[in-house]
Amino acid sequence: MGLQAHAYDVTLVSARTAGEIRDGHVLSTQAMFGPAQTIEREAGLNLWDAQVPAVRAMRATLIDPPGTASVAITGRLRHPQRSVDQRVKLSGWLELFEQRGGRVEYRSVDRAGLGGLARRHELTIVAAGRAELSGIFPRDPARSPFDRPQRTLACLYLRGVASPPDPAETHVRIPMVPGVGEVLLQPALTTSGPCTILLWEAVPGGPFDCWQDRPSPHDNLERSLALLREFAPWEHDLCEKAEPTDANATLYGAVDPVVRRPVARLDDGVSVLGMGDTVVVNDPVTGQGANSAARCADVYRRAILARGERPFDDSWMHETFEEFWAYARHATAFTTAMLGPLPPHMARVLGTAAVREEVADRFAEVYADPSGARWFLDPAEADAYLEAIGARP
Ligand SMILES: Cc1cc2nc3c(=O)[nH]c(=O)nc-3n(C[C@H](O)[C@H](O)[C@H](O)COP(=O)(O)OP(=O)(O)OC[C@H]3O[C@@H](n4cnc5c(N)ncnc54)[C@H](O)[C@@H]3O)c2cc1C
């Protein structure tokens, strides 16, 4: 839509229609932080700001032993985080693109079809998410942090989750159980109005990893309540009277964190450029994917405009991706750190964040913009920071 606004002749190819997306299964928890929302707002795409809950803080609770909150960190966000169900958002944007005169071809593209498209267009970008088509871009082993998923995932959209009595501000709540996984409770807007999304991030083989049978929304709720009763009983009490938002309110699977080479050369020599999850995938535990995809779209849009009449050749594609990677590598580094056992310097920072508000607030901002996270990720910088604020143990 950014290119459409500049009178570029854009063809979108989408495997699913707006109606199919809206009526389909949930896709994500899709929390967007301030900087990514700014990109969307500047493009006139923030169509749901009046209805979507504004999430002003993040509360991470360390649970050890099960059922006991040993440490809680509440970081206030400088700009509210918002989650609009991608079923609402992507279908709304597709319709808007068409209303503005955009051309959409509704079909699934394979490698051969992509070649046909690429021959007919000056530039072809593949934004197929983690779908099979992403396989045309080879994995980049030097940049890929893992060779397999680090969590199995189960997601459930709920209405009727009660608000915690304290504090009054809307929070995303993240109970974390070392070695077992995390559960995120994310206020959001879905097809039927406000909701709370429950996302289980399960360490494979542990007690949260119990979703292989892909239960129905009601069975998921029953199992979720049993897990919450054992591990985070205060969240169980808030969810006890909730019900699934709709028949498609669940999502199961696992995300394979991978970075791919951004340019794929097709059989007849034409090249295509990968975008968003097609080339950089992170586990959703830190909520970076959709935020990074928005950044990627913004970087590519600006690079296309700046290119003018010159050709979109392979070296332009590589340079354009590198500009995105200069940001995305931080999202990958932050997510990688949060998936493993916390190294001592990060544990020291989070221990301080539990008792010092300014540290908790600074930690919350890492989610919004991980490119400034060296003070947390780097051992020497973390200790220097703690020393500077008089918190060195
Ligand atoms: C459980 C879960 C929770 C998440 N939570 C968050 C979060 O809180 N915050 C965050 O920032 N990110 C989150 N993410 C990640 C986020 O959802 C993705 O990073 C983001 O949607 C990627 O956007 P994209 O446009 O690259 O791909 P997608 O959103 O996957 O879109 C790809 C599109 O391409 C279409 N398509 C696929 N193949 C073809 C084909 N062959 N032909 C034509 N069309 C095709 C698909 O139908 C789809 O519409 C989460 C992910 C998961 C799984």
pLDDT tens readout for residues 328-384: 999 999 999 999 988 999 999 999 999 999 999 999 999 999 999 999 999 999 999
Which residue lies with its CA nearest to atom 24 of ligand 1? 129
Reduced to 3 states (helix: H, G, I; strand: E, B; else coil), residue 2 is coil
Q: Ligand 1 centre and the CA of 192: distance in Å?
A: 21
- The per-residue pLDDT for 167 is 64
Domains defined along the chain, listed by start? 4-17+86-146+258-339 (3.50.50.60), 26-37+45-84+148-254 (3.30.9.40), 344-388 (no CATH)
Instruction: Report the atom number in ligand 1 closest to the C-alpha of 292.
Output: 11
Three-state SS string over 199-241 comes to EEEECCCCCCCCCCCCCCHHHHHHHHHHHHHHHCHHHHHHHCC
Which residue lies with its CA nearest to atom 48 of ligand 1? 128
CA angle 194–188–357, rounded 5-degree value: 125
At residue 268 the predicted structure's pLDDT band, cuts being 50, 70 and 90, is confident
Instruction: Report the atom number in ligand 1 closest to the C-alpha of 291.
Output: 11
Q: What does the radius of gyration of the chain's CA atoms come to, in whole angstroms? A: 21
Render pLDDT for 192-213 as a digit per residue (tens, 0 to 9): 999 999 999 999 999 999 999 9
Q: Cα–Cα distance between 138 and 386 in angstroms, integer?
A: 41
Phi, psi of 351, deg, nearest 5: -60, -40
Q: Cα–Cα distance between 196 and 296 in angstroms, integer?
A: 28
CB 321 within 8 A of CB 273: yes
Residue 170 pLDDT exceeds 80 = no
Q: Ligand 1, residues 13, 20, 25, 28: which to mutate, most atoms within 8 A of Cβ? A: 28
- The per-residue pLDDT for 165 is 80
CB 79 within 8 A of CB 49: no
Segment 89-93 mean pLDDT: 98
Specify the pTM.
Answer: 0.97
CB 15 within 8 A of CB 133: no
Instruction: Report the atom number in ligand 1 closest to the C-alpha of 31.
Output: 8
Instruction: Report the atom number in ligand 1 closest to the C-alpha of 290.
Output: 11
CB atoms within 10 A of CB 92: 17
Segment 25-37 mean pLDDT: 98
CB 312 within 8 A of CB 123: yes
- What's the distance, CA 300 to chain centroid? 19
